[in-house]
Amino acid sequence: MQQNEPIVIKHLLEHREMLFAFVLALVRDHDAAEEIFQTVGVKVVVEAQRGTAPEDFAKWARGIARHCVADYFRERQQRQQVLAQAALHERLADRIEQAFDEQHAAQEDLQHRLRHLKDCVQKLSARAQQLLALRYEHRLPIDDVAREVNWTPASVKVALSRARTALAECMKRHAAAGGAE
C-alpha cells in the first residue's frame, strides 16, 4: 500500500506552488495559507500511506485543501460569520476550483513565467517595490499600507493592481524571450 507514497510526494512537490495558490485564493491570508498548506501536505501523505492513488492528483489535492480550509475557519470559530453567507462562499469556492481546474493544462506555462517574477519585481519603480514589500513581506492590510505611505487605501489598491499587471506582462515577455530580456 505504501508504494504510492513516493509518487504522491513527487506530485505534491510538482504541484505545490499552484496548490498553495489555490489555498491562498480561498483564504486570502498568506500566513493562514502557509499553515493550511502544511496540513494539506500531511493529509495528502497520510492518504498515500493508506493506499489512495488518485488519477488526477491536482484535483484530488484541491479537494483535500478545501476541507482543510473549512476546518481552519471552523476551528477559529469564524463559522457564524461564514454561515451567514455560507452558500455564497461555497459557490465562490466552486468557481475558484473551476478556475484552477481549467488552468491545469496551462499550469506549467504559468510556473515557467513565475520563475521570472523576482527579476520583474526589480524592474518596478522603488515606490511600487515599497508597496509590495509592505503588503506582501510585512503583511500589512491595505489601510495600514496606506497610512505608511500617506496615500488613500483606494490609491494603494490601484497601485498594487497596476504593479501586479506590470509583473504579469513582464513575466510573459521574459518567458517569451527565454528569460533573456
- Closest separation in Å from C-beta 70 to other proteins: 8
- Closest separation in Å from C-beta 53 to other proteins: 14
Q: Which helix (H) or strand (E) holds 172?
A: helix 153-176
Contacting positions for other proteins (CB under 8 A): 17-18, 20-22, 24-25, 28-33, 35, 38-39, 43, 46-47, 50, 64, 67, 70-71, 74-76, 85, 88-89, 91-92, 95-96, 98-100, 102-103, 106, 110, 114, 117-118, 121, 126, 129-130, 132-142, 148-150, 157, 160-161, 164, 167-168
Q: Which is nearer to other proteins, 7 or 46 (CB)?
A: 46
Residue type, 148: E
- Closest separation in Å from C-beta 178 to other proteins: 20
Listed residue (16, 23, 92) closest to 57, CA to CA: 16
The total number of residues shown for the chain amounts to 181
Cell numbers linked to 85: 453567507
d(CA 120, CA 65): 30
- Closest separation in Å from C-beta 28 to other proteins: 5
Segments of 48-181 assigned E as strands: none
Q: How far apart are the first and last CA of the chain?
A: 48
Q: Which is nearer to other proteins, 10 or 27 (CB)?
A: 27
